[in-house]
Amino acid sequence: MKIPGLSIAQKLHLTLVIAVATACLPVFFFVQWQTGLPVALSAICVGVVVLRMLTRKLFAGLQALESGLLNFKDSDFSTLLAYQKEDELGRLCRLYNEAAQQLRDEKQWIYQRELMLDKVLHSAPQALLLTDDKGIVVFSNHSAKTLLKCEHNLEGMELDSLAQQASPALYNALSGEMDGLFELPGEGEDKQTWHLSNGELLLNNQFHRLYIFKQLTRELNRQEVAVWKKVIRIISHELNNSLGPISSMLHSGKIVANKLEDARLERVFSTIDERIRHLTEFVQGYGRFAKLPAPRLQPVVLPELLTQLQTQWQFNHTQSGALPAHKQLLADAPQLEQLLINLLKNAHESGGDPAAIKIEVTYQVNHVLLSVVDAGLGMSEHIMANALIPFYSTKPSGSGLGLALCREIVEAHHGDIHLKNRPQGGLSVEIRLPLTTV
């Protein structure tokens, strides 16, 4: 028989009363009810007292189990039960304690993994944004704040408004929920190529949308340079294979010419020898570009490096701000010096006043900006668009490697290089290099 609304203790007490009353029924057949009633009541009271004594620990254990399971429901696994007797309730309590310990360990492990995942996501180069079904940002990382040009936290803000304030091109990419490439205006006159992928997911029984933005400009430039390097290696290999036999034959031809004592042959062979040397130097120059080693990063003090360069080249240098505390520039000093030498050489060949050539150093929070400026003729848009490509040169004797090598060095240091004409005339080459926390 099921009696709704009664606890286990109440059901036990009711069962005891019914059992005692049933056991006392024969008494009423042999004695008067005035005598049998007190006996029956006394038996019931004694039974209730004994029942309470026998079930006190049982009900205490059940209440503890109930409290523990309520803690489980609230994701609190720190409570353990002290009941340790060798009975059914004791075994149940031990199972509860083992489950609580296992859940506590798993919760700690999940917490550590969440911390690690959070750190990875915040330091990821991709910009990550998660919005709810109303377009409100519920998660963003540091790259996303940079992309949206926002210094404060994005959580709780509407993504459409943020994107519209940051860039119309970014807003169009988001509003169309596209998956693919789009361009954003970058530093100077350059454009940055980005890839957007997005998808819907169910989180906490609510639909969310995840946006992943990946900057492809550097990767595309890297692939472009890799292709050029491969072409250079192939051309260098073929030229070297031809130059060796030609040099050997030239040496034999000179011996024959000396025996014939013919001045015309000597001039021919001398010209061929000169062109071979020039071609060998040309091939070696391209080989150095194709085999540029990875930078060996060491702390670099810019004022000292610039002072050393002033002993070789004529230029002035200025500094805006100071190096931020606990920051330093890590770079390969010889490569950084070669970078500045190439830019100073171009500045001296620009046709402007050498006294106007200057290197401006500007310290920012996480970067240092180096600007090499001159007062020359500047560059047309067509030349500026191709100046950083290998083999491209407007000089009759140029190899087209100077600025290409500069870009290779800067990008190997995880920096950026931009060319732009100055309003007052001349060219400014801006190099942005990251500062590292000490």
pLDDT digits (tens, 9 = 90+) for 141-167: 888 888 888 877 888 888 888 887 877
For residue 56, name the pLDDT band (cuts at 50, 70, 90). low
Mean pLDDT value across residues 74-96: 77
Maximum Cα interatomic distance, the chain, rounded to a whole number of Å: 162
| H helix or E strand, kind and range, residue 77 | none
* Alpha carbons 422 and 429: distance in angstroms, whole number: 10
Q: Which helix (H) or strand (E) holds 16?
A: helix 8-30
Q: Under a CB-based contact definition with an 8 Å cutoff, are residues 401 and 387 in contact? A: no
CB 140 within 8 A of CB 121: no
Dist CA 222 CA 1 (whole Å): 81
Question: Does residue 42 surpass a pLDDT of 80?
Answer: no
Judge whether residue 98 has pLDDT over 60.
yes
Question: Any idea what DSSP says for residue 127?
Answer: E
Contact 130, 137 (CB under 8 A): yes
Average pLDDT over residues 308-334: 88
The token duo for 394 is 């407007």
Neighbour-count burial for 353-386, b at 16+ CB within 10 Å, e otherwise: eeebbbbbbebeeebbbbbbbbbbebbeeeebee
For the chain, how many residues are written?
438
| Choice between 54 and 336, residue whose per-residue pLDDT is larger | 336
pLDDT band per the 50, 70, 90 thresholds, residue 330: very high
Nearest to 310 by CA among 341, 349, 343: 341
Write out the E strands in 17-161.
127-131, 137-140
Residue 207: DSSP 8-state:
E
Contact between 150 and 141 under an 8 Å Cβ cutoff? The reply is no
Query: How large is the angle between the packed helices 402-412 and 263-290, nearest 10 degrees?
Result: 20
Is residue 419 a contact partner of residue 384, using CB atoms and an 8 Å limit? yes
**Which amino acid, residue 2?**
K
Three-class DSSP category at 120: helix
What is the DSSP-derived secondary structure letter of residue 76?
A: -
State the residue for tokens 């020898």.
273
Q: What is the pTM of this model?
A: 0.48
Query: What is the model's pLDDT at position 37?
Result: 64
Note whether 89 and 61 are within 8 A (CB): yes
Residue 358 has pLDDT above 90, yes or no: yes
Q: Of 168-177, 252-261, 382-391, which one has max mean pLDDT?
A: 168-177
